[in-house]
Amino acid sequence: MACVTRMDYQYWNEKFEKMPRRELEAWQLERLRDVVGYSLRTPFYQKRLAEAGIAGPGDIKSLADIKRIPFTTKHDLRDGFPYGFLAIPKDEVIRLHASSGTTGAPTTIYFSRDDINRWTSFVARCIYGTGCTKTDVFQNMITYGLFTGGLGFHFGGEEVGMLVIPSGAGNTTRQFRLMQDFGTTVVHATPSFLLHVESKMKEEGVRRDSIKLKRAFAGAEPYSEDTRRRIEELLHIDVYNSYGLSEMNGPGVAFECQEKTGLHIWEDGYIVEIIDPETLEPVPEGERGELVLTILCREATPILRYRTRDLTGFVPGPCPCGRTHRRLRRITGRSDDMLIVNGVNVFPSQIEEVIMAMKEVGNNYLIEIEKDGVLDRLTVKTEVTAETFMDDTRPLNAIKEKIRRTLQASITINPRVELHESGSLPVSEGKAVRVRDRRPKDI
C-alpha cells in the first residue's frame, strides 16, 4: 500500500523505542511512583488518593498497584478548573493548552519547560519513525493556538530539523501556493481536511506534479481504513495515523510506524489500560474497550488513570519494525459518540466505513437525525464525485438506492440518502462535525 519506497526503519531514540519489555516495565514503575508523588501536590489527588488509602509513592509497590488508583474523568478535570490539577509552582509553568471542547467545556493542561521538551521528543519520535528527516519540508495544516495539534507538531517537526511551515488550517489556495513555493514534502491535517484539499486541487486545477508531497500525518478525529486508502490513492502519498489528546499532552501519544499495522503507544510515557466501560474491568487481550491512560512524562499536570472514552484494542504480537511498545487498533470514536436511532445503536464510524468504501461517493458527508412524529429519522448526506454527477448513463437514483441498501445492511436502520455536488457540504477548519442531531433534547 505504501506509495513511498520503504527505508530502513529509523529510530529517534532506539534505546527507548526498542527497550525490552522487562526494562520498560521497570521504567514505568519508577515513573509511576514519581507521578503519584507529583499528583499528591494537587488538591484533587490529595483528596482522591487519600480516599483510596494511598499516602505516598511508597504505596505503589508494583505496576499492578495502579488498580488501587481511582479513575479520573473529563468531568473531574472540569471540576478542577482552573488550577485543581496543577502540581508545580505557577512560575515554573511555561505554557498552557486546552482541549477542543468537542464534548463540552474545555479542560486546561499546564506544562513546565521539561514537560515541553519531553512532549517535543515524543512527537519527533513519531515523525522520524515514518521516514521523515531534516531534509523534509513540513507544512502544518492544522489549527494553532490552544489546540495542541498545532504547536505540538510544530515543535516536534523543528526537533527533527525539518523546515516547518506554520500554515495553520484552512485556505486551500494559500496552502497550494506554499506547497509549490517551498516544495512541501509532508503535511499534518485532519483526514477530513486532506479530503477537502484533494477536492479543491481538482477544482483549482492544481497539477499533482507541481507539488512534491510524499506523506501526511492525519489525526485529531476518527477515520476508517477506507478513508486512509482513499487519501493515499487520490493524493499519491503515504498517510500515517496520529493519535493524541490534550489531557495526555496532545499529539505524540500513539503513532503508526512504516508497517501501518496499528499505532505504537509510547509506553515509556504512558501506562495503557483497556477497560470495559460498563464493568470497568480490563477487556480480554485483543478485544476492544475504552482506553485508559496514565501520563508518566509530565510533572505540571499529572493525570492518573484517565478515562479517554476512546474505543480501541491492542494489536496482538510484536511489530516487525522492532519497537517493543504495543500497538493500538485504529480508534473508532468515543463511547459517547454512539447514536441511538429508534432504539438501535449506531456509531458514526460504521456509516463512514460503508460510504467511504464506495467509489461513487465523494469526499464529504454529513449525518442528520430529526424527529418525524414519534420516530427518529436518519439522513445521510453524501457528496458524489464530479465524474458521477456528469455520467448520465448511471442515474443518480440508482446510486442513491445502492448507498441506502448498503448502509441498511450494515446499520440495520433504513436511512434516507441525499446526494450533493462535490464541494457543497460544509467543511470545518478544525475537527470535522459529521453529526447534526436535531432531536429535541428533552425527549
Burial status of residue 163 (CB atoms within 10 A of its CB: 0-12, 13-18, 19 or more): middle
Exposure string for 253-284, b = 16+ CB within 10 A, e = fewer? bbbbbbebebbbbbbbbbbbbbbeeeeeeebe
We find the least distance from the C-beta atom of residue 221 to ligand ADP, in angstroms, to be 5
- Return the number of the residue (189 or 417) whose C-beta is nearest ligand ADP: 189
Question: With respect to ligand ADP, which residue has the nearer C-beta, 112 or 241?
Answer: 241
Residue 319 touches which member of ligand ADP, Zn ion, none, C-beta under 5-8 Å by kind: Zn ion
Binding mask 101-120 for ligand ADP (x = CB under 6 A): xx------------------
At its nearest, how many Å lie between Zn ion and the CB of residue 291?
19
Instruction: Determine the straight-line distance between the first and last CA of the chain, rounded to whole angstroms.
Output: 47
User: What's the closest the beta carbon of residue 168 comes to ligand ADP, in angstroms?
Assistant: 15
Single out the residue of 130, 241, 258, 301 in contact with ligand ADP (rule: CB under 6 A).
241
- Give me Rg for the CA atoms of the chain: 22
Closer Cβ to ligand ADP, 69 or 142, answer by number: 142
Which residue lies nearer to ligand ADP by CB, 219 or 415? 219
Choices 79-87, 116-124, 239-247, 412-420 (CB under 6 A): range interacting with ligand ADP: 239-247
What DSSP designation does 282 have? Answer: B
Of 131, 150, 156, 219, the residue at the interface with ligand ADP (CB under 6 A) is: 219
Q: Which residue number, 269 or 333, has a Cβ lying nearer to Zn ion?
A: 269
| Footprint (CB under 5 A) of Zn ion, residues 233-262 | 257, 259
Closer residue to ligand ADP in complex, CB, 220/419: 220
Give SS3 for 15.
helix
Q: Which of 195, 237, 239, 245 binds ligand ADP (CB under 6 A)?
A: 245
Nearer CB in complex with ligand ADP: 222/415: 222
Distance from C-alpha of 211 to C-alpha of 379, rounded to nearest angstrom: 37
Q: Which stretch binds ligand ADP (CB under 6 A): 8-16, 59-67, 217-225, 358-366?
A: 217-225
188 touches, from ligand ADP, Zn ion, none (C-beta below 5 to 8 Å by class): none
Nearest to 118 by CA among 17, 326, 268: 268
Cell 531514540 belongs to which residue? Answer: 13
The DSSP letter of residue 204 is H
- 207 Cβ contact list (under 8 Å, min separation 6): none
Write down the residue that cell numbers 529510530 correspond to.
11
- Does position 321 interact with Zn ion (CB under 5 A)? The reply is yes
Shortest spacing between CB 433 and Zn ion, in angstroms: 32
CB 100 within 8 A of CB 275: no
Among 222, 252, 362, 415, binds ligand ADP (CB under 6 A): 222
> Among 99-107, 119-127, 339-347, 414-422, which window interacts with ligand ADP (CB under 6 A)?
99-107
CB 327 within 8 A of CB 62: no
Residue number with CB closer to ligand ADP (120 or 308): 308
Residue 194 near residue 231 (C-beta atoms within 8 A): yes
The answer to the question of residue 399 lying near ligand ADP (CB under 6 A) is: no
Q: Which positions from 281 through 320 interact with Zn ion, judged by CB under 5 A? A: 319
Q: How many residues bind ligand ADP (CB under 6 A)?
A: 19
What interhelical angle do 113-129 and 148-160 show, nearest 10? Answer: 70
Distances (CA, A) of 358 to 244, 365, 382: 29, 12, 11
Query: Where do the DSSP E strands lie in 71-214?
Result: 93-98, 108-112, 137-140, 163-165, 186-189
85 with 42: CB under 8 angstroms? yes
Question: Interface mask (CB under 6 A) for ligand ADP, residues 292-331, using x and -?
Answer: ----------------x-x--------------------x
CA 17 vs CA 160, 319, 330: distances in Å? 16, 12, 20
Residue 373 region, left (φ>0) first, then alpha (ψ -120 to 50), else beta?
Answer: left
Q: Is 24 left (phi over 0), alpha (psi -120 to 50) or beta?
A: alpha
Interacting partner of 312 out of Zn ion, ligand ADP, none (Cβ under 5 to 8 A depending on kind): none
Write down the least CB distance from residue 319 to Zn ion, Å: 3
Q: Please tell me whether residue 243 binds ligand ADP under the rule CB under 6 A.
A: yes
Task: Decide whether 49 or 220 has the Cβ nearer to ligand ADP.
Answer: 220
Complex with Zn ion: residue 13 or 180, whichever CB lies closer? 13
From 285, 245, 246, 243, select the one nearest 265 (Cα to Cα).
243
Q: Which residues bind ligand ADP (CB under 6 A)?
A: 99-102, 147, 219-222, 241-246, 308, 310, 331, 334
| Binding footprint of Zn ion on the chain (CB under 5 A) | 257, 259, 319, 321, 323
